[in-house]
Amino acid sequence: MSHWLVIYDIRDPKRLQRVAKTMTDYGLRVQKSVFEMECGRKKIEQLRRRVRKIIEEEDYVVYFNLCEADWQKREKFGKGRYEEEPDEPFKIY
């Protein structure tokens, strides 16, 4: 299982909504256009294929594969949360 951070900038509101919905099938939204995912290579490739069918040339999506050590170093500051997040997914200061 790998750890992924996925960020995107989608120019069209309809495509943006479709990409965000697709991302929720794979991970947790941590900001408006940022998702954290824990999945294998096959799942992330499946996500990439689905997203490629939605986006246009003016959009972009970036997939960061994070090692376990870096994944464990993540910290969250502030009290903001998205409803999709489970209880206490991060260290909160």
pTM exceeds 0.75: yes
Residue 88 confidence class, pLDDT cut points 50, 70, 90 = very low
What's the domain range around 48? 2-72
Secondary structure element (H or E) that encloses residue 61, with its range? strand 60-66
The DSSP code for 86 is P
- pLDDT above 70 (res 45): yes
Q: Is residue 92 part of a domain?
A: no
Q: Is residue 15 part of a domain?
A: yes
Confidence at residue 75, expressed as pLDDT on a 0 to 100 scale: 75
Q: Is residue 14 part of a domain?
A: yes
Domain count, the chain: 1
Q: Is residue 54 part of a domain?
A: yes
Q: How far apart are CA 9 and CA 27, in angstroms?
A: 17
Q: Is residue 32 part of a domain?
A: yes
Q: What is the CATH number of the domain that holds 22?
A: 3.30.70.240
Q: How far apart are CA 45 and CA 37, in angstroms?
A: 13
Q: Is residue 46 part of a domain?
A: yes
- pLDDT above 50 (res 84): no
Residue 76 confidence class, pLDDT cut points 50, 70, 90 = confident
Angle between helices 13-24 and 41-52 (to 10 degrees): 160
